[in-house]
Amino acid sequence: MNKVPLTVRGAEKLREELKRLKSVERPKIIKAIATAREHGDLKENAEYHAAREQQSFIEGRIKEIEGKLSHAQIIDVTTLNAGGRVVFGATVDVYEEETDEEHTFQIVGEDEADIAAGLISVSSPMARALIGKSEGDTAVVDTPKGERHLEVLEVRYE
Q: pLDDT, tens digit, for every residue of 11-65?
A: 999 999 999 999 999 999 999 888 888 877 767 778 888 888 999 999 999 999 9
Could you report the per-residue pLDDT of 91-134, keeping only the tens digit for each? 999 999 888 999 999 999 888 899 899 999 999 999 999 999 99
CATH number assigned to the domain covering 4-75: 1.10.287.180
Per 3-state DSSP, the chain is made up of helix, strand and coil in percentages (nearest 5) of: 40, 30, 30
**Sheet of strand 146-156, all strands in order from the earlier edge strand to the far edge:** 119-121, 101-108, 91-96, 146-156, 138-143
The answer to whether the pTM exceeds 0.85 is no
**Distance between CA atoms of residues 137 and 129, nearest Å:** 11
Q: Is 28 exposed, middle or buried (0-12, 13-18, 19+ CB in 10 A)?
A: middle
Class of the 77-156 domain? alpha beta
Which residue would you say has higher pLDDT here, 152 or 1? 152
Map out the domains of the chain as residue ranges.
4-75, 77-156
**Distance between CA atoms of residues 149 and 151, nearest Å:** 7
